[in-house]
Each structure stands twice: as structure tokens, then as C-alpha cells.
Amino acid sequence: MACDKTAVAKKKISLVVLISGGGSNLQAIIDAIKNQQLDAEIKTVISNNVSAGGLDRAALADIDTHVVDHKQFPDRQTFDHALINIIDPLKPELVVLAGFMRILSDDLIDHYVDRLINIHPSLLPKYKGLNTHQLAINNHDAVHGASVHYVSHELDSGPVVIQAEVPVLDGDDKNTLASRVLEQEHRIYPMMIQMVADGRLSFDGKQLSLDKKPLNKPLLWKENKLRNHDE
């Protein structure tokens, strides 16, 4: 019998990525796809900000882009419905918030409740909202970090899948700390998306499951290894 030596293409998970700024997390996802560390396809990148650097990154990678300027809409709900109108026909398996600096309406969150993910630069539930790096420094925290989570109704809430710890060093200012946190963000975001692509991770809107078991505490990315929280 003839043997077909062509590698069986792995199924790619489809993504829509929402950005507002520089798009370094978007770039990390693009790079992970290019380096075959992530079996995903970005269907489109949407920005609420026409000058977002991430739009150039998407264009360079030949990814379709949309600008939906929130200032052109009378309220949050109408803006979010404009987003839904772009996202829905693309049928993404994940809607990926990557530095998207808009508060989302309940309508949008409910619409994508089992597939809406975000990255936040703190060890949630600590430091929701803005200015997390300065807060960690002001409070003399020994450890800061980043969290990847599914999105629920309150700001920067929802079940956390992976956290990465970053030590706060003597002499750190918010910029030096932010850049070390970003390095870790760029690792854990593609990693989490790959878990969904592999069919290992899912969320039903209430409960996270990893490898068919409930995941009740975030995994911890520490010293280049993914660990259970208690390890």
C-alpha cells in the first residue's frame, strides 16, 4: 500500500484579536504561529484606535484589519454591536483581547462568554485596572506578574488560566518592571491559546476544565516551567 508521507495538518484554532495600542502581545501570537508553536489562524485584527501600532504589525503579517473608532458611536453598546457585526461572520473560536483598552458591555461579554480571553499585567485578583506596575512598586511587592483569563462581567475578572510571576528588583521603575512583565505575557498568552487549540482547555461560562478535570487555581509559569499552583 502506498504510504502518504505528507504530514497531517493540525487543526488551526481561529482567532479574532482586539487591540488599542502597540500590539506586542499580538506580535507574540503572530510569531508563535509563524514558528509553529501555535496552531492558530488570525482571521482579523480590530482596533478602536486608528493609530495603534498593532495595525502595522498585522498588515506586515498579511492579516486583515478593521478600525472601529469608539468615538464615532453614541454609547458603549452600539460600539460593541459594531464589533459583534464584524466578529460573528468570522466564527472565531477565541476572541482575544490584547491590550484592548475599552470596557466591554454585558451584551458583548455574554455573547462570547465561553471564548473571550484577556491578558492583564498583574497577578489577579491583585491590581485590576490601570497602573499596575507602579502600584506593585509603591506597595513594595516582592513579586508582580501577569495573568491570562477568560472574561466575566466585572473589570479584569473571570477565571485565570495561567499566571507568570516576575520579581520586583531594587531600582525598578514602572517601565523596567513593565518590560519584564511583557516578556512573560508574550510567553503565557500563546501558551494558553495552544491549550485551547489542543482541546485541553475549555470554559463553559462558569467552570474551567483542563484535561477533562476542573481547573480551580491558575497554572503558574515559573522558572521556564508550567506548574500547578501548589507546586
Distance between CA atoms of residues 81 and 107, nearest Å: 8
Q: Which is nearer to ligand GRF, 191 or 198 (CB)?
A: 191
The CA-atom distances, in angstroms, between 21 and each of 47, 207, 227 are 8, 31, 31
Number of residues located near ligand GRF, criterion CB under 6 A:
14
Task: Tell me which DSSP letter residue 216 carries.
Answer: -
Q: How far is the CB of 190 from ligand GRF (least distance, A)?
A: 12
140 catalytic, yes or no? no
73: three-class secondary structure by DSSP = coil
Distance between CA atoms of residues 165 and 222, nearest Å: 6
133's grid cell: 506596575
What is the x/- site pattern for ligand GRF, positions 33-72, by CB under 6 A?
---------------------x------------------
Q: Which is nearer to ligand GRF, 37 or 207 (CB)?
A: 37
92 binds ligand GRF (CB under 6 A): no
Q: Which is nearer to ligand GRF, 119 or 195 (CB)?
A: 119
Who's near 73: CB < 8 A, 6+ residues apart? 79, 82
159 binds ligand GRF (CB under 6 A): no
Q: How far is the CB of 136 from ligand GRF (least distance, A)?
A: 13
Residue 97: count of CB within 10 angstroms of its CB:
20
Residue choice 63, 83, 185, 192 for contact with ligand GRF (CB under 6 A): 185
119 binds ligand GRF (CB under 6 A): yes
